[in-house]
Amino acid sequence: MMQLNISQTLTHSLRLLIPTTIDVNQPIDTSHLVHQINQDLCRLCGGTLCKQHRGYYHSDHLGVVEEVIYEIEVWTTDFGLKQIQPRLEAWITQILRDLGQESVFLIVDGQAMLWDVYPGDCAMKKG
């Protein structure tokens, strides 16, 4: 009989939602961003799960918005999570700035967070 052993324990999970709209509700192809984030996470952590969903959320400006969203999920170690952190902040900034989103939904170790732009940050405004 073959003996099995656990080669690695992945103690952290991360789930990032990527929208398919710009400026809250205008459709846009974000597949290039989804592909890039998946490639980066595969390099850093070994692999990802990428799922497509239909999402609904309340916009302060437009009410209920419906869109296709991509959910990228990765499991990693303490070291992997530390490696991901700077990239994660860059991806969130890119989604907020380039896609004109009000917020970005991120789950780390089961804790859901909405990230947005600090109210006084003029550098994030599209120009």
Q: What is the CATH number of the domain that holds 93?
A: 3.30.70
> Mean of the per-residue pLDDT values for the chain?
91
Beta bridge partners of 106: 16, 113
User: Looking at the domain assignment, is residue 4 inside a domain?
Assistant: no
pLDDT at 17 over 70: yes
User: Looking at the domain assignment, is residue 95 inside a domain?
Assistant: yes
User: Looking at the domain assignment, is residue 125 inside a domain?
Assistant: no
User: Looking at the domain assignment, is residue 82 inside a domain?
Assistant: yes
Q: Which tens digits make up the pLDDT trace of 82-106? A: 999 999 999 999 999 999 888 899 9
User: Looking at the domain assignment, is residue 127 inside a domain?
Assistant: no
Q: Which tens digits make up the pLDDT trace of 104-121? A: 999 999 999 999 988 776
Q: Which tens digits make up the pLDDT trace of 40-74? A: 999 999 999 999 999 998 888 889 989 999 999 99
* pLDDT on residue 122: 58
Residues 58-88 as b or e (16 or more Cβ within 10 Å = b):
eeeeeeebebebbbbebbbeeebbebbeeeb
User: Looking at the domain assignment, is residue 123 inside a domain?
Assistant: no
| Structural domain boundaries enclosing 68 | 14-118
User: Looking at the domain assignment, is residue 45 inside a domain?
Assistant: yes
* pLDDT on residue 46: 93
* pLDDT on residue 38: 98
Beta bridge partners of 63: 59
* pLDDT on residue 127: 45
pLDDT at 19 over 50: yes
User: Looking at the domain assignment, is residue 7 inside a domain?
Assistant: no
* pLDDT on residue 79: 94
DSSP code for 7: -
The tally of domains found in the chain comes to 1
Find the mean pLDDT for residues 12-35: 94
